[in-house]
Amino acid sequence: MVTLQGSAGGRPVAVAAGLRPTVGLDIGGTKTLAALLGPDGEVLAQARLRTEPGPDGVLASAVRAVHGVVRQVGLEVASLDGAGVGVPGLVGHADGTVRHAVNLGIDGAPMPLAGLLSRELGIGVVVDNDLNVAALGAAHLAPDAAVRPLDLAFLALGTGLAAGLVLDGVIRRGTGAAGEIGHVPIDPAGPLCPCGQRGCLELYASGSAVDRLWPSTTGRPAPVELFEAAAAGDTRAIEARSTYADAVAAAVRMLVLSVDVRRVVLGGGVAQLGEPLLVAVRAALERQVSGSAFLASLGLPDRVLLAPGEVPVAAVGAAVLARTADPGDD
C-alpha cells in the first residue's frame, strides 16, 4: 500500500499501488453532488453546491465540485484516476456530449461536457445519463454487491417515472429508451400522457401522480402530507396511499418480469419518505402476488430496497463509472 497525503474522517487515505481515487458528479438543475471514491470502493468524501445554469455555469459548477471534494481530504485533482458525471437529458456516452438538458439550461447545440471538463481538470472524464449512474451507484452500494455480476434496477420516483438498469454488471443503455417503463400504458382508456399515449404508468406511479392524487395544502411535498395523513388514520389518505403503492408495485413487477433484476432500488424525490414508502410498496406486492403461485415464487417484496439516504447514489455511480467505463458498452 502507498499513502496519499490527506485524510478521510481523521484516517489516512490509503491507496493500493497502481490504484487511485475517482470523483463522481451528479449534476441536477438546482444542485451538483460530488463523491470521492477510494480504490477499495469506500466513499471518502462528499460535497454539495448550487448548479449554475447554462453550459458555462454547469462547467464551472462541476469544476468547483471536483476541487471541493478532493480538498476535503487534502488531495489534488492530479492524484485522481478520472472523473465521472451523471446528467439529465440526452447523453452521448461515447463522445461525452449532452443535449436537451433543459433543466440545466443546455439546449440546441450539443455540449461536449466530457471534453471541456477534462481540459479544465487535466484528467479523463466520462459522462452518462443520471439514471444510468444512479443504477450503477445503487449496485455498488447494495447489501449483496459482492454478488457479481449483479442485476439491479434503480426506479426513480420523481416528476416522471423511469428506471436505470445494470444487467450482468453493465449499464444497459440500448438506443436510448432502456428503462423508460413510465411510458408503458397500463390503462388504454386512461388520461392522456404528455408522450401522446393514454394511461401510461408514469401517470400513476410518479411523484407527479401523488400531487394529483393528494394535492398539498400546506406547501410541503404532497407525498409527505399523504403518508402523514394515512399514518394518522385518515381513511381517504389510507386509500390514496394504497392506490399509489399499488402503482409503484406494478412498476416493480414490470422490471422483474421483463429483465429479472435481483434488486429494485426505489429512488427519486418520493423515496425520501423512507421506510413508510418501502413498507407500503412491499405490502402492495404481497397483495398482488397472493393469488398467483408463480408471482409468489419470485419473492418480489424482498427484492425491493430503498436508495441509501446518507450518500449521493448517482455521484457514487459516476465515480464507479470513471474507473470501470468502457465506451463500447451498451
Q: Taking a C-beta distance cutoff of 8 angstroms, is the pair 151, 166 a contact?
A: yes
Please give the distance of CA 270 from its chain centroid, rounded to a whole number. 12
**Which comes out higher in pLDDT, residue 1 or 23?**
23
Beta bridge partner(s), residue 265:
154, 305
Can you read off the three cell numbers belonging to residue 135? 443504477
- What confidence tens digit (pLDDT) does each residue in 241-283 have? 999 999 999 999 999 999 999 999 999 999 999 999 999 999 9
Among the residue ranges 9-18, 135-144, 238-247, 299-308, the one predicted with the least confidence is 9-18
Q: pLDDT tens across 218-232, in order?
A: 999 999 999 999 999
pLDDT value at position 325?
57
CA dihedral of 101, 102, 108, 114, whole degrees rounded to 10: -30
d(CA 113, CA 90): 12
What band does 69 get if pLDDT is binned at 50, 70 and 90?
very high
The residues, any chain, with a CB within 8 Å of residue 324's CB and separated by 6 or more, are none
Q: What percent of the chain has pLDDT over 90?
A: 77
